[in-house]
Amino acid sequence: MSAEVWTIILVGLSFILYLYIGWQSRVKDSKGFYVAGQGVPALANGAATAADWMSAASFISMAGIISFAGYDGSIYLMGWTGGYVLLALLLAPYLRKFGKYTVPDFVGDRYYSNIARVVAVLAALFVSMTYVAGQMRGVGIVFSRFLQVDVSTGVIIGMVIVGFFSVLGGMKGITWTQVAQYGILIVAYLIPAIAISLLLTKNPIPQLSFTFSDIVPKLNQIQTDLGFKEYTQPFATKSMLDVLFTTIALMVGTAGLPHVIVRFYTVPDVRAARFSAGWALLMIAILYTTAPALATFARYNLINSLNGQTIEQIQKLDWVKKWENTKLLSFKDKNGDGKVELTPNKATNEIEIDKDIIVLSTPEVAKLAPWVIGLVAAGGLAAALSTASGLLLVISSSVAHDIYYRMINPGASESNRVMVGRVMVGFAIAIAGFFGVNPPGFVAEVVAFAFGLAAASFFPIIILGIFDKRTNREGAIAGMIAGLGFTIVYIAGVKFYGMQPWFFGVSAEGIGTLGMVINFIVTLIVSRFTAPPPLEVQEMVEVLRMPGDELPALEELDEKHVL
């Protein structure tokens, strides 16, 4: 059978599984809809967290960036994995003990202010909408190639699937769907990596073949022969300062992502939150230690397959014709010598490859079995849809729970709260679909913007909310507005309005680090020059850091806890 037939079979079976889980996990109460009834086992939550966190950017786009940027692409590996460790150790247990449904819920209660809650909701919407745009683009790319439909049609198919189990099952349906999606995406990532490792180096373990074989020296030589800098040369495409700022932005942005943080509200207690964080880290590491090897194999195979070949030879390759149809791969014989060549100079380069097709095309380039190609497509969709569903629920809960229930109609019944949540999922899906068809960049780049926005808005406020009892509502509101506002203006100016990166050349992907610093400074200064929080709030912050699984109600606290 062809790769397309295998893709239809495997993607179809995976979608049937997702729909079945969504139907079986349907809920009627708000606790089940927003935090899965807080009854998810630690191991299952670890797998769901890993799937939620490893989006289309991790599965589809990260290896592509590393493949193109070499050493400098490692910022995504360092930033995303380091950020998860930061989240697991520094934030997750305390947020679970706080016991709320969402990050804006934490902000609103910790900073005793509905204005702070609204600002947090707006930040969550900015972050989630930016992030979900990358996921929808990933869905569109997979469908456009493997089902030979246009991107718009692919996005619509993905919207229907993710909407079904999000609307029906809420967080409960999403959680158990993500457990299945983790299994699919990790198998789909490892099988081609192992097969190609065996073909190129005779070693089936990608991590070892990347480290101890001669594949990297060979690629370094090929790169220099073509006029590129060595694959392993540091700071070839980014300055040292930009690498530092982007890595930090990705790291603290990870720790501030609302759709990942909410996963720690779904477990029974703080102990389970810690264990699920450990399981998730292990499951994430499996893919993230494989990605650099797969990126290297992909670049080596692509150069050997395409560079120096004639147009006629290239177009005889079935995978080339199908990727050309997506307009994500193109060739042009600029010098008229009958061959196409890959060069570092845009004026003379004759091969254009979109970074987002590297992982998806690698099995075809390596001439692996058609079923492996179909499996990779199913894995890419699993990665995109798992994260998209988590983001959609954040968007839904930010409006339905944090605005409608907590501020507009506190007396709303369970059924009304769930209904508003489902309606908001529908609106969020429509907006996500628009961004999927009209994305502002390639997948990992768009996702990097979301991490920068999270770094500039949520991370300082959560950290100070847990570890500094003197931080007050005025400081939190001013800090979030200053950090988020600066970061949005900088990213929009650089990406859409032709502004030069004026802060020492730091890119739009890295400017979230400066936004975070601005947030911290503004929050601390304003907090020190305005009235301190009420004693019961300071007391709550002290008790939050004490051993124990539950945070007592405010009226149960007394001044003996205040230091």
| Domain contains 321 | no
Residue 43 CB: number of other CB atoms within 10 A? 16
Look at the block and give the residue holding tokens 């720790």: 255
| Domain contains 466 | no
| Domain contains 103 | yes
Is residue 139 within 8 A of residue 56, CB to CB? The reply is yes
| Domain contains 519 | no
| Domain contains 499 | no
Cα distance between residue 34 and residue 36, in whole Å: 6
Cα distance between residue 30 and residue 414, in whole Å: 6
List the one residue out of 159, 153, 157, 131 whose CA is nearest residue 326.
153
Residue 485 CB: number of other CB atoms within 10 A? 15
CA 247 to chain centre: 14
Q: What are the strands, taking DSSP E only, across 300-410?
A: 329-331, 351-353
| Domain contains 469 | no
Residue 351 vs residues 66, 72, 322, 328, 330: alpha-carbon distances, Å: 18, 22, 16, 11, 6
Residues 6+ apart with CB under 8 A from 183: 47
What pLDDT was estimated at residue 461? 92
Write out the H or E segment, with its range, that includes residue 180.
Answer: helix 151-201
pLDDT in tens, the chain (563 residues): 777 788 888 888 887 887 777 677 666 656 556 555 667 888 888 888 888 777 777 887 788 888 888 888 888 888 888 888 888 778 877 877 777 667 788 888 899 888 888 888 888 887 777 777 777 777 777 777 766 677 777 777 777 777 766 666 566 777 787 888 888 889 999 999 999 999 999 999 999 999 999 999 999 999 998 888 899 989 888 899 999 999 999 888 877 777 777 777 777 877 787 788 888 888 988 999 999 999 999 999 988 888 888 888 887 888 888 888 777 888 888 888 878 888 888 888 888 888 778 888 888 888 888 899 888 888 888 887 777 777 777 777 777 777 887 788 888 777 787 788 778 877 877 877 777 777 655 555 566 777 888 889 889 999 999 999 999 999 999 999 999 999 999 988 888 788 889 999 899 889 999 999 999 999 999 999 999 999 988 988 888 877 665 555 544 444 433 33
What pLDDT was estimated at residue 458? 87
Domain containing 176: what range?
Answer: 24-298+369-442
What pLDDT was estimated at residue 316? 82
| Domain contains 19 | no
List the one residue out of 445, 62, 465, 59 whose CA is nearest residue 261.
465
Please give the structure tokens belonging to residue 153.
Answer: 């049609």
What's the CATH number where 384 sits? 1.20.1730.10
502, burial (CB in 10 Å: exposed 0-12, middle 13-18, buried 19+): exposed
527, burial (CB in 10 Å: exposed 0-12, middle 13-18, buried 19+): buried
| Domain contains 316 | no
Task: Provide the number of structural domains found in the chain.
Answer: 1
Angle at CA of residue 212, ends 206 and 216, nearest 5°: 80
What pLDDT was estimated at residue 559? 40
First to last CA, the chain: 70
Cα distance between residue 468 and residue 478, in whole Å: 16
